[in-house]
Amino acid sequence: MGYLSRLCQATSETDPRGGAPRNASKLAGASAMLPRRSAPREKEDSNVAMLTNTSLLSIVATLGAFPVTVVEPPSNRYREAESSVADLFRSYGWRPDASIDRGGGGADLVLERDGQRFAVEVKALAEGRVDRVLPLLSMAILQAKAHAREVGGAEPLAVLWVGHASPSLGNHVRSFAKNYAEGVSVGVVAENGFRHFVGQPFDELNAEPKGEQWRAGRSSHQGVNLFSDLNQWMLKILLANEIPDALLSAPRINVRNGAELAHAAGASTMSVSRFLQQLRKEGFLDEHARGPRLVRKAALFERWRAAALRPAPEMAMRFVLRAPVREQLENLIANKSDEACLGLFAAAEELKFGHVSGVPAHLLVPKLPHADDKKWRSLRPAALGDAPDLILRQVAFPQSVFRGAVHRDGWVASDIIQTWLDVASHPARGAEQADLIYAKFLRQIVEPDVR
């Protein structure tokens, strides 16, 4: 019998007089099966024992054997882990369910995509050693199963976030999951780019360590992407004081430090710290200002524009009812204001920077609908030869797009920066539209000294 099974058996047999396990010795037996190094140093042995005891107590509390609540102390590492894991899943089209109450020890994340739902337990470690990973992963597995039962209609997913990991760790995790995690998807995500998931549909997330980061060792923090979804949103916040409300929805504060930016962006302080460090390293922050102030904006915007040059999935659509298109489009956006907005040329028109006409409106969405999606039943794919009423376009950076979207005159449109980024590569006079937006508005922000 494996140690997870022995833990479950031991904790499920309680003493009716006091609620404690009758077979407490089984806990010790299960603990003895945890992986140990053949010749551990005294300090390491103490650390493993402490981690093992914490894991056992948390598992027991999760299963309800004791009347004990285990509350993990908040830490930057855990906050960074949750933020990084959430960003990873967003980039693959998963959407965190914001309606779930995360208080009281519930799931760290509840993810949804294409009708699938997962309750996620996230744990964090500094290093990816097997004798550290497996005990903490075992705790995450059992807690994820408990969260899935609480949420309802969800499957469990246990994710361990580590500072650094080698590819060999994936073999240990896969073997462990096969033997002890039936019905639970598990994954390990590392800062050095390594990702290993076991269980459908998460195989698509698997990745080897990035060679440069792995060779650099545990002190390396290279490779911070200035233009990730979250970082683009933070760039917009840093620029918001220079842009009117009618052109960008974002907190407008005089950011004095990373903590204030983290609060405004809804990000972890660790994620913000790395973002600001990378900006500083690349010379995009004023070293003499009180608080983060962007400089060399022309170079920054050029990099930003290059990062946005990626193909986006699109679907040409027609409304089922042959009523006025503009009226139906306005109603469609009003019903999906948090997950749909005008983009490209249509957004430029609503922002009063219109230049190109005769192009179907682009509607930006987090995910293109599938054939039987009832949320989009007012639309159907345009048949070959039919002129589309609109183009659905799946965005690569939903957090930055939808948090910055502007609400005006009953419409929701992408902000002025996003519109400039998205339209630039469009083959139908997109470069002309982008140049007009830059000349009429963005130049005064990007090149304030140029007249």
Would 70 be classed as within a structural domain?
A: no
Q: Containing domain of residue 187, as a range?
A: 76-216
pLDDT score recorded for residue 214? 39
Would 224 be classed as within a structural domain?
A: no
Same domain, residue pair 33 and 123: no
Q: Strands of 314-319's sheet, edge to edge?
A: 379-381, 314-319, 390-394, 361-365, 341-343, 411-413, 406-408
Same domain, residue pair 284 and 344: no
Would 223 be classed as within a structural domain?
A: no
Percent of the chain with pLDDT over 70: 77
pLDDT in tens, 134-160: 889 999 999 999 999 988 889 999 999
Residue 197 has pLDDT above 50, yes or no: yes
Q: Which two tokens stand for residue 346?
A: 């249509």
- H helix or E strand, kind and range, residue 134: helix 130-151
- Residue 105: CATH number of its domain: 3.40.1350
Q: Say whether 163 sits in a helix, a strand or coil.
A: coil
Would 380 be classed as within a structural domain?
A: yes
Same domain, residue pair 342 and 394: yes
Q: 432-449: b or e for each residue (b if 16 or more CB lie within 10 Å)?
A: ebbebbbeebbeebbeee
Same domain, residue pair 106 and 29: no
CA-to-CA separations, 223 to 191, 212, 303, 326, 408, in angstroms, rounded: 10, 9, 15, 44, 38
Q: How confident is the model at residue 418 (pLDDT cuts 50, 70, 90)?
A: very high
Would 158 be classed as within a structural domain?
A: yes
pLDDT score recorded for residue 284? 94
Q: Which two tokens stand for residue 77?
A: 């590492």
- Select the highest-mean-pLDDT range: 35-49, 64-78, 205-219: 205-219
Same domain, residue pair 90 and 176: yes
pLDDT in tens, 25-54: 333 344 444 444 444 444 344 444 444 444
Same domain, residue pair 53 and 84: no
Same domain, residue pair 421 and 323: yes
Helices 269-281 and 229-239, axial angle in degrees (round to 10): 70
Same domain, residue pair 22 and 37: yes
Residue for token digits 């779930």? Answer: 100
- Residue 298: CATH number of its domain: 1.10.10.10
- Longest alpha-carbon distance in the chain: 83
Same domain, residue pair 84 and 147: yes
Same domain, residue pair 82 and 211: yes
Q: Which amino acid is present at 442?
A: L
pLDDT in tens, 239-286: 999 999 999 999 999 998 999 999 999 998 888 989 998 999 899 999
pLDDT (average), residues 19-26? 40
Residue 354 has pLDDT above 80, yes or no: yes
Domain final residue, candidates 172, 190, 216: 216
pLDDT in tens, 289-348: 888 999 999 999 999 999 988 888 999 999 999 888 889 998 898 888 678 999 999 999
Question: Residue 21: beta bridge partners?
Answer: 14
Domain final residue, candidates 192, 216, 240: 216
Would 451 be classed as within a structural domain?
A: no
Number of structural domains in the chain = 4
Q: H helices within 255-388, ranges in order?
A: 258-265, 269-281, 297-307, 325-335, 344-350
Same domain, residue pair 209 and 151: yes
